[in-house]
Copies of this chain bind each other. A is one copy, B any other.
Amino acid sequence: MRGVVIHAPKDLRVEEIPAAPLGPRDVRVRIQAGGICGSDLHYYHDGGFGAVRIREPMVLGHEIAGTIDEVGAEIRRLTPGIRVAVNPSRPCDVCQFCREGLHQHCLDMRFFGSAMRFPHVQGAFRQSLIVNETQAIPMPTTLTTAEAAMAEPLAVCLHAVRQAGPLLGKSVLVTGCGPIGSLIVLSARYAGAADIVATDVTPFPLEIAERVGASSTINVAKDSAKLASHAQGKGTFHVLFEASGNEAALRSALDVVRPGGVVVQVGIGGDMKLPISVIVAKEIELRGSFRFDEEFEMAVELMGKGLINVKPVLTDTLSFERAVEAFELASDRSRAMKVQLSF
């Protein structure tokens, strides 16, 4: 079997990788679609992010869907031929945080294609993947495999929206309209926001944001005054989703969030210098949002029922054999949004 392996920054290879054995509660999934995530790009360009670094060759990828080829001996509810979205997250289910229902904070999490642990958890950009049955979520026939492979980033965004509390009738700002920012626009629109303003520094992502539900967009590289106009009366946005991981984006957005407003930080940057006196004086709530938990199945359900349509965000598909080209394309925010590999 072949897979997409990162060896070092800019050294991404499509090569033979070993197959894993099928356990009694596992299924073997023939992967058909795999989306390139921002963290995949960090591994590709920089060898990691923050304290997380590649220390051995690692198969990338965790946004995947495919068809079950074989099921373990003890499995009854799944059979070969069933199409599934694959949940890349496998919490331990027994640690303190799992017991409290906070599986995303599991002390022994296994997440496909992540260098947080060592040895790394190998990823899912491969022709065939062994997953625990709990990670294989059957998808409705209404969905394409490409859409099902969007369940993971959509789950991240549904989780972020849930971190914000109810959005019904609220005024929302989204800073940074890459795939995550765009899917947040889509999710916030579905969750009942009255007004969604999206910002970015290039035109292409803002066009996508409008297509998925932004009420208006601002190119802050050109027109920062337009954002500043929302600062009247101590600020007007009830909720800010910060999806750029950029200090300047967060700083300027804090000025337009109203007192008591909520900031959901989704973008992971390094250190950021923040105006604490603004956060204190306006009693802003800054909440981190990390991965997802039950939102993965929610994502499959909402897409499957036709309630959320992610297609405008999925701009390009290339064969996995052209992975390097695909990673370069995914890095070019002026012309690509979500890029998927086909297998």
Question: Which A residues have a C-beta under 8 Å from some C-beta of B?
Answer: 49-50, 93-97, 99-105, 107, 158, 161-163, 165-169, 187, 190-192, 194-195, 215, 233-234, 245, 259-260, 265-277, 279-290, 294-295, 298, 301-302, 305, 307
Contact = CB atoms under 8 A, between A and B. Distances in A.
A259 B266 CA distance: 15
A133 to B, nearest CB: 13
Interface secondary structure of A, over-half rule = mixed
B276 A270 contact: yes
Contacts of A100: 101, 294
Contacts of A275: 270-271
B276 A273 contact: no
A76 to B, nearest CB: 16
A283 B288 contact: yes
B301 A280 contact: no
A215 B158 CA distance: 21
Given A272-B274, A273-B272, A105 B283 contact: yes
A282 B273 contact: no
28 contacts: A49-B277, A93-B93, A93-B94, A95-B233, A99-B103, A100-B294, A102-B260, A104-B283, A105-B259, A105-B282, A161-B168, A162-B168, A168-B190, A169-B302, A190-B192, A191-B191, A194-B305, A195-B305, A267-B280, A270-B277, A271-B273, A271-B274, A271-B276, A272-B274, A274-B274, A279-B286, A279-B288, A283-B287
A278 to B, nearest CB: 8
A194 B301 contact: yes
Contact of A279 (B187, B215, B265): B265
A163 B279 CA distance: 13
Contacts of A99: 93, 101, 103
A-B pairs, top 10 by smallest CB distance, nearest first, are A101-B101, A105-B259, A280-B288, A169-B298, A191-B192, A166-B166, A279-B288, A286-B286, A283-B288, A100-B101
A290 B282 CA distance: 7
Nearest to A91: B99
Contacts of A167: 166, 168, 191-192
B283 A163 contact: yes
B194 A166 contact: no
A9 B279 CA distance: 27
Contacts of A272: 273-274, 276
Highest count of chain B CB atoms <10 Å: which of A49, A99, A102, A275: A99
A102 B259 contact: yes
Q: Most chain-B Cβ atoms within 10 A of its Cβ — which of A161, A168, A266? A: A168
Contacts of A280: 265-268, 288-290
Contacts of A288: 276, 279-285
Contacts of A107: 233-234
Contacts of A294: 100
Nearest to A279: B288
